[in-house]
A = this chain, B = another copy of it.
């Protein structure tokens, strides 16, 4: 059963269209991540679902009920914000109980729910404190708790972890994942951190300019991006892009300056019309030395820059005159100026149309 349905929703601020006839179906219990660059309309979409913004057109259904014109509180949603948005003058307990009290819930039921949320989120010792006396991670836990006590069907998260430092972020990420496993609620989660998106999501919706570009499981999006934008947006270090031309014929190949990459192993989506195209290959899919030589395509390259990242190392070279990076284990000691053989399997690459940027 679908939990949240967004149907042909448009939203404009004055003359500026932020969302354009957007459609989205979220099945019950799914963890959906909205991913996209800043300003693409993620928060706007979330706010529309929450009822905090009035849509210009279209409808929104939650649990099969048309809630387009419902008040936020009547939609069965809970929301967590990047800035925590805790009520600064209330204690943690006050923050958790505010909504319930407003709804006129019985005292003991409130206490029960707070106890449960506090236990799940391990914030029992903090209940009497004010938000100012909490660390960032604790604050965000309280903010999640505020959604939790309301016993809602759908959780909406708007970049809940962006204000935290890297370490806390990865910790809380795991906690949110665990929470989802435990509650099995529908969750819609906005982020522009692709690690978060990849690790948390059942499905990811990559947005750009108010339009969903691709909506699919993380691995699909990572490995088979539908267009160059999605390909470039996911992955860090980012995908390498090589500009070149497709040569048709019996043995299709991708020609760049000084090299030809055979495309017979590549699984074309569309017909491979000869012409300008872009080949994308992820840095971790590139092999070195002998392994490289065994690959369907390999070439010699000189090391330009070495970026050790601790767990592994990023190496910058040039291929056909174009910047090209690949990843090696941290143990591999390379230095600028080294010459080596690199190669990859075109089956793992992505080919995009030179004009439209769409996958071919």
Interface residue ranges, A against B (CB under 8 Å): 37-38, 165-167, 170, 173-174, 177-178, 181, 192-195, 198-199, 218-219, 222, 232-238, 282-284, 305, 307-312, 314, 316, 327, 329-330, 336
Contacts and interface: CB of A to CB of B under 8 A. Distances in A.
- The 6 A-B pairs of least Cβ separation, nearest first, read A199-B307, A284-B311, A222-B310, A198-B310, A198-B309, A195-B309
Contact of A219 (B166, B307, B308): B308
A307 B176 CA distance: 12
Contact of A166 (B194, B308, B311): B194
Given A218-B308, A307-B174, A167 B238 contact: yes
Contacts of A177: 305, 307
Nearest to A232: B167
Nearest to A219: B308
Nearest to A195: B309
A284 B327 CA distance: 14
Contacts of A165: 37-38, 192
A327 B307 CA distance: 20
Contacts of A233: 167
Contact of A311 (B235, B307, B330): B235
A178 B305 CA distance: 8
A59 B195 CA distance: 44
Contacts of A222: 310, 330
